[in-house]
Each structure stands twice: as structure tokens, then as C-alpha cells.
A and B are shown apart, each in its own frame.
Chain A
Amino acid sequence: MNTGFWASTRAILQKDFQAEFRGRELISVMLVFALMSVLVFSFALELDRLARREAVAGVLWVTVVFASVLGLNRSMNQERDSGAMDALLLAPIPRSAIFAGKFLANYAFTLFVGALLLPVMTVLYNVTMITPYSVIVLLLGVWGICTVGTLLSAMTSQARGGEALLPIVLLPVALPVIMASVRATTGILTGAPIADWEGWLPIMAGIALFYSVVCAFAFAFVVEE
């Protein structure tokens, strides 16, 4: 008896939430790192008001990317350490459902951390970070980073020293998403005319969609020997 895509995806997502609720191994580490990072940047960048508005988007995305690397590494290592990935691969489910379940969990955790950063950075940097558009950019940017990050973490977790390897392979591949996210966020936070930055949103959505399809397809080849 084979289990369908959505039922398998939902089961894996639910399992990751349940494991995180029990162990608090991902979000706690991601959150502490993210808060320390924005705090250090706020002391390091003693800038005037305008320069701060321009720099704060970069601080946000650097923090989100590296926090997501921590989460992605831990999430995939949970599957590898006890050999549970083999149990998932043995189950009569589509490989793409394993990818989708892991991706959605990583996306939710990273988004949670990113969403918490917005009010914290508003206070620390005295810049209004919470706007409908900055939330949309966060949703799209994290989507793009987590799709490619889930695939690459599945690859690097099989290698010796894989935790150190993930940022090295992830950053070049995710660069288009990171660049578009920083540009769009800078435009929003500096109050630039909407026409100056709105073009980045469909680009981000397109990249996220492209990565989602390619990564879901490639996942089966990555996890099988």
C-alpha cells in the first residue's frame, strides 16, 4: 500500500513540529544566534539615521541566512544521526514528499525567527521594519533560501564535516534570492518609490518557484546512493 504525497508531507511536517516542541533543538539555537547577531550589528554599526536605514536590510538578511543554516543543518542531522532517513526512504511514500515535509518545517522555523527579528530590529535600529511589504519579502526570501537549503543540507549531511560545508555551498546558490531580498527590503525601509523595488517581488517569486520544482525533483537523486 502506497501513501499519497499530501498525507506523507503532512505526517513528516507534523513529526518535525512534534520533535521541535519536545526537544527545542532548532528554534532555540536559531533564535539565540539571530538575537546575538542583530545586537552585535547594532553596536558595531553606529551610523546616522539614513545610513542605518540602508544597512539594516543587509543585517536582517545576513542574520536570517545564517540562522537558517543552523536550522537546516540540525534538521537534516536529526534524520541522519539515528538512521531515521533510511526509515523514511523505506516507507512507501514519494521522495518528493520527504523533501516537501522537511522543507515546510524548515520554512516555518526560519520564518518564525525572521518574524521575531522584525519587532526586535525595529526597537534596536529605530527603523520601522514591520510593513506589509517587508513581510511579503520575508515570506518569499525565506521560501527561496529554505528550498535550496533543504536540498543542499540533505547532500552535505552525508559528507564528513557537512555542517561546515552547508554555508559554503548554500551561499553561492542562494545568492540571487539573498540579493533580491536585500534590494527589495532596502527599498521598502528607505521609503523609496514603490516602482523602484516592486520589480524584485516577481523575480523572488519566480526564483522560489524554480528552486522548489528543481529541488523536489533532485531530492530523490541526492538521498539515494
Chain B
Amino acid sequence: MTTTERPIIDIENLTKTYGFLPVLRGVSFQVQRGEFVALLGANGSGKSTLLKLLCGLTQPTNGKIAVGGWQMPQEARAVRSQIGLVSHKSLIYPTLTGYENLAFFARLYGITPNANALNALLESVGLRKAGTRPARTYSRGMMQRLSIARALLPNPHLLLLDEPYTGLDQEASHALDALLQDTHGAGHTLIMTSHDLASVARLAKRIIIINKGKVAHDAPNEGLSPLALAELYAHATGERFNG
């Protein structure tokens, strides 16, 4: 990666208000291809809104967002095929099997659902055997892994993860860590919001802290421990981290 490369995300003076309530107030930053960025912030600080803006699920009040060189929201349809979203909600149909869910989303992305490719994707998230079962029978961790498989289906350049650790037990969290490491290793750009400081400290290569709708800290993660990260958060926001 070189710094002369065009950034995959270019946000300039972004503001978003809901009614009279300002959520984002002049946010600006760039993300280069292949980065793993963690967005930290208190509840209501604007992290999820920022992810929604990046994938075109909501529109900015002011400012500019470019994803992969495309301007949002004007060119949102072109951007959508380059973005995968993993949310704290599964975005999965519980009555369909894991395989059927992937086959359905493959069709929406214009991909012919090939059994070998879909099974290989299920295998990569450890759901090859469970793929024939309805998703409603999955544990929270399995559902999250299926959600990541769905997000990776169109081989997106950019993977957005909104609180992916919510509700996961320790074993499932470790499995998710490994999966995200593999995904990042495969060259995808990842942006993750999380309250799990241990995972953020372990995985993210850059930390952005959002406080009251503004960027309060933006620097590479130079081997910070979870404790050091909590101190950094407190210093940047003036508040104790509530994980």
C-alpha cells in the first residue's frame, strides 16, 4: 500500500442531524485500502450513523463521502456491490437454511449460486455441516459467522462491522477474531465499531475515537493493550470507557 493510492474512503466535513439533533458534526478522515480501522465512542456518539452513511442506508445532511471514488449518496448503487455489512442484527432470514440464505443473496448480487462456491464459503466460516439447517436453530455465534459469510459473498472491497461482538460468548468471540484476521489478511478493508477493547486492541491497526459527533482521536494502533486503549479513550473523550 502506498500513500499515493486513492483512499477507499474519503470523508470531508460530514454532518448528520436527525431533526434538530446533531449526530455527526464535521467529521473528516480518509481510509486507505487494506486498513483495519476501529471506531470507538460512547453510545449515541455517531459510530453506527457513520457506518450507515458509508453504505448509503441514510443520507448526509452536509459534507462529502466518497467510497472507492464514488460519491455518496448520488452513486450509492455503484458503491453497494463493493460493501459488506455485518451488524449486531443478523440480516439473515431465520426460516431459511444457511445455504439458502447465501444462495438468495448471491442472486441479488448477480452471482449464479454455485453449490461448490457457496459450500466453500460456508466452510470458511465453519458452517459447512450446519448449512442445511434453518438459521433459526443457530447459536448467536453461528448466526454472526453466517452474517459474515453473507457480507463476504460478493467479495466486497470494504467490510463494515457494527458491534459484531454483541452477545457473543468468549469462544465465539475468539472464532470471530480469527475470522476477521483472515478476512483482513485476504486484503479486505475493515471498519469496525466495538465496545470490546480487547478485540479492538488485538485486531485494529488504526483507532478512531468519536466523541459528541467529532473525531477526538485518530492514530495508528501501535500495540496498545486494552488498558492503554481505555486510558487513551478517557483522555480523548474525558469519559471513562463503558465497554
Residues in chain A within 8 A of chain B (CB atoms) = 1-3, 7-8, 10-12, 14-15, 18-19, 22-23, 25, 78, 82-84, 86-93, 224-225
Mask: chain B, 87-103; 1 = CB below 8 Å from A; 0 = not: 10111111110001000
Most buried by B among A10, A25, A88: A88
Q: Which residue of B lies closest to A88 (CB)?
A: B108
Inter-chain contact A86/B78, CB cutoff 8 Å: no
Q: A91 CA to B111 CA in the complex, in Å?
A: 12
The residues of B that contact A225 with a CB separation of less than 8 Å are: 52, 57-59
Query: Could you tell me the distance in whole angstroms from the C-beta of A84 to the nearest C-beta in chain B?
Result: 6
Q: Is B129 an interface residue (CB 8 A)?
A: no
Q: A31 CA to B62 CA in the complex, in Å?
A: 49
Q: A3 CA to B108 CA in the complex, in Å?
A: 6
Query: Could you tell me the distance in whole angstroms from the C-beta of B85 to the nearest C-beta in chain A?
Result: 6
Inter-chain contact A90/B96, CB cutoff 8 Å: no
Query: Could you tell me the distance in whole angstroms from the C-beta of B97 to the nearest C-beta in chain A?
Result: 8
A82 with B107, Cβ < 8 A, contacts A1-B81, A2-B77, A90-B85 known: no
Q: A94 CA to B177 CA in the complex, in Å?
A: 34
Q: Is B109 an interface residue (CB 8 A)?
A: yes
Q: Which applies to chain A's interface (DSSP): helix, strand, loop or mixed?
A: helix
Q: Which applies to chain B's interface (DSSP): helix, strand, loop or mixed?
A: loop
Inter-chain contact A15/B85, CB cutoff 8 Å: no
The residues of A that contact B104 with a CB separation of less than 8 Å are: 11, 14-15, 18
Inter-chain contact B55/A18, CB cutoff 8 Å: no
* Shortest Cβ-Cβ A-B pairs, 10 listed: A83-B89, A11-B107, A23-B95, A91-B108, A87-B91, A92-B81, A3-B110, A225-B58, A92-B80, A22-B95
The residues of B that contact A10 with a CB separation of less than 8 Å are: 107
The residues of B that contact A22 with a CB separation of less than 8 Å are: 95-96, 134
Q: Which residue of B lies closest to A83 (CB)?
A: B89
Q: Which residue of A lies closest to B18 (CB)?
A: A225
A83 with B93, Cβ < 8 A, contacts A3-B108, A3-B109 known: no
Q: A22 CA to B57 CA in the complex, in Å?
A: 30
Q: Is B105 an interface residue (CB 8 A)?
A: yes
The residues of B that contact A18 with a CB separation of less than 8 Å are: 96, 100, 104
Inter-chain contact B95/A25, CB cutoff 8 Å: yes
The residues of A that contact B81 with a CB separation of less than 8 Å are: 1-2, 92
Q: Is B83 an interface residue (CB 8 A)?
A: yes
The residues of B that contact A224 with a CB separation of less than 8 Å are: 57-59
Inter-chain contact A93/B59, CB cutoff 8 Å: no
Inter-chain contact B93/A8, CB cutoff 8 Å: no
Q: Which of A7, A12, A92 contacts B77 (CB 8 A)?
A: A92
The residues of A that contact B96 with a CB separation of less than 8 Å are: 15, 18-19, 22
Q: A90 CA to B52 CA in the complex, in Å?
A: 10
Query: Could you tell me the distance in whole angstroms from the C-beta of A151 to the nearest C-beta in chain B?
Result: 19
**14 A-B contact pairs sorted by A residue (CB < 8 Å):** A2-B78, A8-B107, A10-B107, A14-B104, A78-B95, A82-B91, A86-B85, A86-B91, A87-B150, A91-B105, A91-B109, A224-B57, A224-B58, A225-B52
Q: Which residue of B lies closest to A94 (CB)?
A: B77
Most buried by A among B52, B81, B154: B81
Given contacts A7-B110, A18-B100, 15 further A-B contacts (CB under 8 A): A1-B110, A3-B108, A11-B104, A12-B108, A18-B104, A78-B93, A82-B92, A82-B94, A86-B57, A86-B89, A89-B57, A90-B55, A92-B109, A224-B58, A225-B59
Inter-chain contact B57/A19, CB cutoff 8 Å: no
Q: A183 CA to B94 CA in the complex, in Å?
A: 42
